[in-house]
Amino acid sequence: MEVPARLAAVAERLVASLGPHSVLTDPAELRTYECDGLARYAVSPGLVVLPETTEQVVETVRACRDADLPFVARGSGTGLSGGALPRSDGVLIVTSRMRRILEVDLDAECAIVEPGVINLAISREVSPAHYHYAPDPSSQQICSIGGNVAENSGGAHCLKYGFTAHHVTGLEIVTPDGDVVWLGGGKCRQSTGYDLLGVFIGSEGTLGIATKVVVRLVQTQQCVETVLAAFEDMASAGEAVSAIIAAGITPAAIEMMDALSIEAAEQAVDCRYPDGAGAVLIVELDGPADDVAAELAAVTARCEQSGAFELRRAADEYERGEIWKGRKSAFAAVGRISPDYIVQDGVIPRTALPEVLADIAALSERTGIRVANVFHAGDGNLHPLVLYDESVPGQGDAAEEVSGAILDLCIGHGGSITGEHGVGVDKAKHLPKMFTADDLDTMQLVRCAFDPAQRCNPGKVFPTPRLCGEVPRRGAAPHPAQAAGLAEAF
Partner 1 sequence: MTTLDDLRAACEARAATPTDRVADVEPRFVAYPTSTDEVSRLLRAAAAHQLHVVVRGGGTKLHWGGPPSAADLILDTGKLTGVVEHAAGDLIAVIRAGTPLAEVQRVLARSGQRLPLDEMLPGATLGGVVATGAAGPLRLRHGTARDQVIGLTVVRADGVVAHSGGKVVKNVAGYDLGRLLAGSYGTLGVLTEIAVKLTPIPAARAFVRRPVRTPAEVRDLSVRLKQERLAPVALEVECPAPDGARRTATRVPGHPDLMVLLLEGPADGVAARAAKAVEVLGGDARADAEPPDWWGSYPFGPDDLALQVVTPVGQLFGPVYSMRDAARGTGIRIFCSPAAGVLHAAVPGDVDPDRAVEIVNAARTVAMSHGGHCTVLAAPPKVRPEIDLWGPVEGIGLMRAVKHEFDPAGRLAPGRFVGGI
Instruction: Say how many residues touch partner 1, by CB under 8 A.
Output: 104
Of 271 and 347, the one with the shorter C-beta distance to partner 1 is 347
| 245 interacts with partner 1 by CB under 8 A | yes
Interface positions, 36-65, toward partner 1 (CB under 8 A): none
DSSP secondary structure, 148-164, as one string: HHHHT---TTHHHH--H
CA distance 175 to 179: 5
| 128 interacts with partner 1 by CB under 8 A | no
CA distance 73 to 420: 18
Q: Which stretch binds partner 1 (CB under 8 A): 10-18, 38-46, 258-266, 473-481?
A: 473-481
| 414 interacts with partner 1 by CB under 8 A | yes
CB-side exposure of 197: number of CA atoms within 13 Å?
Answer: 25
| 467 interacts with partner 1 by CB under 8 A | no
Q: Using CB under 8 A, which of 156, 165, 253, 334 touches partner 1?
A: 165
CA distance 120 to 133: 8
Of the candidates 288, 278, 353, the residue with the CA atom closest to the CA atom of residue 308: 278
| 455 interacts with partner 1 by CB under 8 A | no
How far from 36 is each of 340, 351, 423, CA to CA, in Å?
Answer: 17, 33, 13
Of 45 and 79, the one with the shorter C-beta distance to partner 1 is 79
Sign, CA torsion 411/374/299/304: positive
Q: What are phi and psi of 158, to 5 degrees?
A: -60, -35
Of 66 and 105, the one with the shorter C-beta distance to partner 1 is 105
| 418 interacts with partner 1 by CB under 8 A | yes
CA distance 342 to 194: 38
Interface positions, 365-384, toward partner 1 (CB under 8 A): 376, 379-381
| 314 interacts with partner 1 by CB under 8 A | no
- Beta-carbon contacts of 195 under 8 Å, excluding residues fewer than 6 positions away, are 184
| 445 interacts with partner 1 by CB under 8 A | yes
Interface positions, 186-205, toward partner 1 (CB under 8 A): 186-199, 201-203
| 33 interacts with partner 1 by CB under 8 A | no
Q: Using CB under 8 A, which of 449, 464, 467, 470 touches partner 1?
A: 449
Q: Label residue 412 left, alpha or beta by phi (over 0 means left) and psi (-120 to 50 means alpha).
A: alpha
Helix or strand holding residue 342 (H, E):
strand 340-343
| 391 interacts with partner 1 by CB under 8 A | no
| 420 interacts with partner 1 by CB under 8 A | yes
Of 15 and 446, the one with the shorter C-beta distance to partner 1 is 446
Q: Using CB under 8 A, which of 36, 125, 151, 340 touches partner 1?
A: 151
Q: Which stretch binds partner 1 (CB under 8 A): 59-67, 174-182, 232-240, 326-334?
A: 174-182
Q: Which DSSP category does 430 fall into?
A: G
CB of 482 to partner 1, least distance (A): 8
Of 389 and 439, the one with the shorter C-beta distance to partner 1 is 439
- Beta-carbon contacts of 121 under 8 Å, excluding residues fewer than 6 positions away, are 99, 101
CB of 379 to partner 1, least distance (A): 5
Interface positions, 249-308, toward partner 1 (CB under 8 A): 249-250, 287-295, 298
CA distance 134 to 155: 9
CA distance 272 to 334: 16
